[in-house]
Structure 1
C-alpha cells in the first residue's frame, strides 16, 4: 500500500490560517516551510495526483454529506447549541489511516484518551514513538485543522514555549476515519490544576515567567490582519476596531432576529428582544471606547444597520489599503488544565491550541487564563484553627480557606507576571493598563447574546450611560466575568 503523502505544507491555507504575517516575520522567508519550521507531512491535499475518486468513494461514507458525523443539540439553553458526534471514529479506521499516511508495515497501538468539545483524542504508539491523534468534528471544515497546525509551528519556531510538534495532518476528510485529524507529539505531564497544592510557589513563578516571555514575543511579532486565526473569511486586514465592532454587532443582531422570527414561546421572545435592544445601546456607546475612522469614516448607520449583506461586510473587511488594526497571537485558554508539569513543577508543555486567535492588542494584552480572578487578595488568609489542629470535620471552613489561599497566591503570581512583562515588554504593560475600558466593551460584545450573561452586560451599560442608581464609578465588566 503506497503512502499518499506530500511532504510540504500548502502555503496558501497556512498563511490564511495564521492571519497574515508581520513585516518582521515576512523577512524570515516567503517560503512556507522556512517560515513555519521543519516540514510537516500533509496527507490528502486537494489536487494531489495520487487521490483517486473511485478509491475515495469506496472508503469514505461521508461522500456528498459535509456534515456527516455532526449534529447540533440544545441542553436547556434555547440560544446555544453544542456539537455532538453521531459517528464514533473506529480504531480500525485510525490504524488504516496511519498505515496510509506513515507506513503500512508498522504495528500501531491506538487507545482512546479524551473527548473534547470538537475533537476526539487518541494515544498512538509505534516503534517506541508516543504520539497523540486529534480527530475533529467538521464544525469549521479545514480551517480549524490548518489553523492549529500553522499556530503550533509558529509558536515552536518563534518562541521557547514547549508545545506539541505536528508530524502529520489531514485537513480533508478523504481518509478511512472520515474526519480531519492531526498527529502530534505526546507531552507527558500532569495538568497544573491537579497538582496545584503540591507545586511550590517558586515553581509556579518560573512557569509564569516562561509564559510572560511567550506573551512578550507575541507582542513583538504583530500581524497586520484578521481577528480569528481559525476563520478564513477574516484573515485579511480589517479596518479599525470601531469598524470591526460595528460588523460584529451587525452579525450578532442578524442572527438574533432570525431566532426571534423562529421563537414561539413568549419568554424566549422577550429575552431575544431584550438582547436586540442591548445591541442598539452598545452601538451607541462605540464612540466612547473607539475613535471613528478618519477620512474614510461612513456616516453612522441607522438602528437596523444589520441588514447589510455578507458581500458588504467582506468588502469592508478586505479594504487593505485603509487603516487597519494591529493584532497579535492570543491563546485565550492557557488554563491550569492546559499547563502540563512534571513531578517537580517544571513546565513540560502548553496544549489546547485548536481555537487560538489573532486579536487586537487591547484584547490580547491581558492576564493568561490561569491568572484570571475578579479581584486581588493582597493579604494571606488566616489559617483556620481547625486546619492547624487537623480537625477536618468542618469542610466548609476548610474549603473557604483553600479558595482564599489560592486567590492570594494568584495575586502574587499576577504581580510576578506584570513585573516580568515590564522588564521584557513595557509596551505590553502600557496597553494592559490603558486599554481596560476597551476590554470591557469587548466583553460586552461577546456576551450580549449570552442568555446567562446579558443582564450583567445591561447593568454595565446602565452604568456607562449614567443610568445606574448607584453613585459609583463604572465597574470593570471583563473582570466581573473572571469570577
Structure 2
C-alpha cells in the first residue's frame, strides 16, 4: 500500500525517485524471484544528441538532494515487490476478451470509484502545488491498458491553467508494468532531453483505496501528430522527422547487456545509471488469458536465441493448454446449438445463408435425430458453463482464442487445429538455434527501444507544429538492433512513393479526395523517412545499425515467433523449414 513519491531537481529532464518500498526489483513469473535476477548493468554510452544545449541534461550528478516525507494516507512500509499470484490481482477487475487480432484485449469489468481517486489525490496534492480544497478530478480518456483522469484547479476553467493526469492502470501484468514504465521514464528523463511527462507519485500495489495501480503526472498541452498533421506544413513535418531522429539517437546511447524491461533499485533513490537494471520483460505475449500462470522464462534474456525461444514457448504453452481447447470446443458447440434452434428471420443477414445451408443438412434427418443432437449440445454447453471456476472470471469464455470454425466444417480442417499449431511451434523451436545467435549478449549490445513512437504518441504543439512530448512508455524493452525496426511508426508505412499524387478536381467525388489525402501522406512519409535517416547520419548515430540487412532477418523471425500459434503463419513457417532443410539437410 506504500506509494512512491518522485521529487525532481530544477532540471526538467532530471529526476530523483524516492521509494519507501524495501524490496529490490523483479519477479520472472508468479513464483518468488527477487532482485538477484536483475543483474544487467546499464552501460553508459551517453552522447550529446541533436541540438542539446547543456551537458547536465544528459549526465545527472551522482549525488542529489532528496526527501522522503512520511505520508499519512499511505504510511511507509516494506514492499514485497511483485505479488505471488499475478492472476489473482486481475480477478474482478479485467477480463481478457479475444478479438480479431492474435492477442486478446483487456476489458475492465468494474467502474472506477472517482471518489476514491479524489481521496488519493487529496493526500498527494501538495506535490503538484494545488490546494487540497481547490481541485477537481474529471474523466479524460482511456486506452487499452489505462483510464485517465484530469486533475485541475477547481476554481479555474478547464484548460486555463496547469493540469495533471491521474492514470489508473489495468492489472494486465501486475506490478511489473507500472514499475517498469516508471523506471523507464525516470531513466529517459535523467539521461536524455526527450520530453517525457513528469511523474510525481505512483503506487504499484493495487491494495489501495482506488483498487488499482496508478500514477499522477503532468498533463502535456499538445495534440497527437495524427490530429496535427493536416495543419502542419512540410517544413514543420521535416523538423519533426529530425526531432524523431534525435530522440532515437539519444535512446541508442542507453546501453544494456540483456533483453528485457528496465526496472530500478528500490532501496534508495536513483542517482546514477547503475540504479537501473534489466528485469522480466513486459510484453503482451506473456499476459493474456492464462499466460501469467505458466511457468516460463520471462527474462531477462542473455541471448537472442533465449528470447525467441521464450516467445515461442509461451505460444506453444497456450496451444497445449487444455482449457484453451475446452473453450474452443464450447464455443463451436454453442454456435451449432444456436444454428440448429434459431429462426432464420432472427439471424444476422450476413450469417443467414450459411445457417440456412446448415439447417438444410438436417432437413432429411428424422426429427428425433435432430432433437438428440440439440440435447447433446445443450448438455455440453451447460456443463461447461456450470464448471467454469470462479477463479477464472478474468477469462472471456464467449469467444475462443483458437477458432475451430463453423459447425459442419470438415473435421480434418478444424478439429486437429491444436495439433497443427503445436507442430508449427515445434518447427520454429527446432529452427531457432540454426537461425539466430546463441552467444551471450555483450555488456552494451542492447538499447532502450520505444517500439510505439506512433502518430498517437508523439504530441505536437498546434501553434508551433513542434513536438512537445513522447508518451506511452509501457512495454518499452531493451533489444539488440537486429530485432529493432529502424523507422518510428509515426512516419512509417508499407509504401515508398517517390512522386507526389495528383490532386483531384474540386468537384470530384469525396472518395477521390480521401484517396488523394492518403496517398499524399504516403508520399510525405517517404520524404520524412529520408530526412529521418539523413539526420541520423549527421549524428553518426548507433541507431543506423537498425538499417543493416541481415540473413536471416531476425526481425522477421521474431514476428514468426510472436505469431507461432496462428494458423495464418503455416505457409511462412513451412517455407522456412524447407529452405533450412535444403541448406543443412533433413532431420536438423
Shorter-chain TM-score range: 0.7 to 0.9
Give the TM-score, by structure 1 length.
Answer: 0.74
Q: Give the alignment partner of residue 429 of structure 2, picking from 283, 286, 303.
A: 283
Deviation digits for residues 178-200 of structure 1, max 9, x if unmatched?
11111001101111111212111
* Match of residue 461 from structure 2: 342
| Aligned: 1:441 with 2:560 | no
Secondary structure at 1:367 match in 2: coil
Q: Give the alignment partner of residue 225 of structure 2, picking from 192, 196, 217.
A: 192
Instruction: Report if aligned partners of 1:40, 1:166 keep a CA contact under 8 Å in 2.
Output: no
Once residues 134 and 113 of structure 1 are traced to their aligned partners in structure 2, the CA distance between those partners, rounded to angstroms, is: 10
Deviation digits for residues 406-458 of structure 1, max 9, x if unmatched?
111111111111111122235432342234711111111112224xxx52x33
Describe how 1:8-23 pairs up with structure 2 within 5 A: 8-9=18-19, 12-13=24-25, 20-23=40-43
Q: Which segments of 5 or more consecutive residues in structure 1 lack a partner in the other structure?
A: 52-63, 295-321, 468-483
Once residues 138 and 63 of structure 2 are traced to their aligned partners in structure 1, the CA distance between those partners, rounded to angstroms, is: 30
* Match of residue 225 from structure 1: 258
Once residues 39 and 449 of structure 2 are traced to their aligned partners in structure 1, the CA distance between those partners, rounded to angstroms, is: 12
| Aligned: 1:459 with 2:571 | yes
More contact order relative to length (CA 8 Å, sep ≥ 6): 2
1:269/1:153 Cα in 2 relative to 1: closer, same or farther (>3 Å)? farther
1:180/1:243 Cα in 2 relative to 1: closer, same or farther (>3 Å)? closer
How far did residue 79 of structure 1 move?
Answer: 6.8
* Match of residue 493 from structure 2: 373
Secondary structure at 1:334 match in 2: coil
* Match of residue 306 from structure 2: 243
1:209/1:271 Cα in 2 relative to 1: closer, same or farther (>3 Å)? farther
Q: Which has the larger radius of gyration?
A: 2
Once residues 282 and 99 of structure 1 are traced to their aligned partners in structure 2, the CA distance between those partners, rounded to angstroms, is: 53
* Match of residue 116 from structure 1: 143
Once residues 431 and 78 of structure 1 are traced to their aligned partners in structure 2, the CA distance between those partners, rounded to angstroms, is: 27
Describe how 1:134-149 pairs up with structure 2 within 5 A: 134-149=167-182
Instruction: Report if aligned partners of 1:114, 1:121 keep a CA contact under 8 Å in 2.
Output: yes
1:416/1:463 Cα in 2 relative to 1: closer, same or farther (>3 Å)? farther
Q: Give the alignment partner of residue 451 of structure 2, picking from 329, 332, 340.
A: 332
Coordinate RMSD, CA, aligned:
3.8
Q: Which segments of 5 or more consecutive residues in structure 2 lack a partner in the other structure?
A: 7-17, 27-33, 47-54, 79-86, 155-160, 264-277, 282-297, 333-403, 406-413, 580-588
How far did residue 405 of structure 1 move?
Answer: 1.2
How far did residue 465 of structure 1 move?
Answer: 4.4
Give the TM-score, by structure 2 length.
Answer: 0.62
Once residues 43 and 193 of structure 1 are traced to their aligned partners in structure 2, the CA distance between those partners, rounded to angstroms, is: 43
Once residues 171 and 439 of structure 2 are traced to their aligned partners in structure 1, the CA distance between those partners, rounded to angstroms, is: 37
Instruction: Report if aligned partners of 1:114, 1:122 keep a CA contact under 8 Å in 2.
Output: yes
